[in-house]
Structure 1
């Protein structure tokens, strides 16, 4: 029998081992439909922002008459009047006050919540489960219920009309949401890393410093972003504790464009509202990559 009469072996399959058959991509019609749906949702989300920016470039009379997004006559005077329009103070003072308070809250939350979360997630101490349940229970308490006893306490400490009531409580890990977030993140870190560090001679502080802290960076970034945004946009708490005009913040300063008679400087108010969004936008853009990495890392755990 010649070699030519032997049956030829079948060609090896080009599929990779362990991989199923390739899935065809969607048809062009489905991709177009998906793009249209995303575009419609994007327009719905951006419409209020575009409307606010457009009104900041309209004259006061055109704001009431022109309901369109774009102004017929562009004017930039609203930004000048909003920045320098308040008596004896510029809007930049409010920006500085908000920046000091927001940065202080961010640092306090990051430092206190990560230490508290490490104790709940990694250390053994009596009644750990009970105290963790009490901490989670504080999430059910509205802030408006605690504002009166807190105000009385801070008045006895002579902290009213200072940034201290807004920053100092955060040092005590009062934000249970961020503690819970970090506890859940730390529970996804293998305990074998802790045991290996202890074998190398690390104390509990050394394990926290050299093992846990570098791995919880995504959770720390999420805490920083949400702390900054929530503090920057906070109105009620800052209105309660800050009384003097030079100590007020951006959300309270925006309210001052409406006087006691109900008359509102609409154009300057819209202009300063647009300017007040810039720090939040730049803060989010600066840490967006780390936040996305943290979400991806959390999704790969387990």
Structure 2
């Protein structure tokens, strides 16, 4: 039995290690390519060790193009991501509390309507949203990318609502006896207890907003306003020689904020999702 257990564990570890290598290989290849000369990126592309280390790719990439450095693009991404994340978490938390704790007319209908919006693909609402934002005069501004997040994100609302439902109602009742109103209960009782769910939502929001490409592509037309995700595309020019080394160098830098956020706050992801149980 002991030999069978050891054999089973060995097979499991080999399979898990193989899958891990398959998943991490594209990332390692990108980092390796960022240290190769542009003309050598696709020569012996399977090799992960550069024949000649070319750190100048990071300098060339950071210099950007058309007089715009990548520092500007990183700053634009930071503005969009941080404000949109704060807006989505604040609004989603308020809405989730309303669905979880407050009784109002048509509550179930509104909840179902909110959940149905999660099933709508972005392509389905892209044109109506563009027409609406164009009439508002918001094209080539950050408003279409930021302002909608202040009206709640369905997935975050559902996640936080499920977390709130795990909090005993007795805490609310005890707070009412002590003279707390609805807002006092929310800020003093609920919010401190749902920090893991809020942080989990914030991490997901940060990743989605930082990585968003389609939104900026649709609404932004001024290069000085481009985020990193859109600026990387400008390195690829089918009518001239593409600086692949610089593009992969900036791609490597662009994922660093995501890695930092994930590794610093990863425990909140586990706590937030496991505590909710994702129950309907």
Instruction: Give the TM-score of the pair, scaled to structure 1.
Output: 0.86
Deviations 1:187-245 (A, max 9, x none): 12111111111111111111111111111111101110000000111101111111101
Q: Which position in structure 2 is the counterpart of 1:20? A: none
Q: Which runs of 5+ in 1 are unaligned?
A: 1-23
Would you say the 8 A contact 2:80–2:146 is kept in 1? yes
What's the CA shift for 1:289? 2.5
Q: Which position in structure 2 is the counterpart of 1:15? A: none
1:149 aligns with 2:118: no
In the aligned structure 1, how far is the partner of 2:3 from the partner of 2:169? 41
In the aligned structure 1, how far is the partner of 2:271 from the partner of 2:9? 27
1:70 aligns with 2:64: no
Q: Which position in structure 2 is the counterpart of 1:226? A: 204
Deviations 1:51-90 (A, max 9, x none): 1111111112221212211111111111111111412110
Deviations 1:146-186 (A, max 9, x none): 1222222222222111111111111111x211111111111
Using the TM superposition, name which of 30-39 and 182-191 deviates more.
30-39
Q: Which position in structure 2 is the counterpart of 1:115? A: 94
What's the CA shift for 1:260? 5.1
- Answer 1 or 2: which has greater helix percent: 2
SS in 2 for 1:101: helix
RMSD after superposition: 2.0
Deviations 1:222-274 (A, max 9, x none): 11000000011110111111110100011110000022516422111111110
SS in 1 for 2:66: coil
Q: Which position in structure 1 is the counterpart of 2:108? A: 129
Closer/same/farther in 2, CA of residues 139 and 125 from structure 1, 3 Å limit: same
In the aligned structure 1, how far is the partner of 2:139 from the partner of 2:39? 40
Q: Which position in structure 2 is the counterpart of 1:10? A: none
What's the CA shift for 1:281? 0.7
Q: Which position in structure 1 is the counterpart of 2:170? A: 192
SS in 1 for 2:118: helix
Q: Which runs of 5+ in 2 are unaligned?
A: none
Larger Rg: 1
Instruction: Give the TM-score of the pair, scaled to structure 2.
Output: 0.93
- 1:1-302 correspondence to structure 2 within 5 Å: 27-67=5-45, 68-173=47-152, 175-259=153-237, 261=239, 263-298=241-276
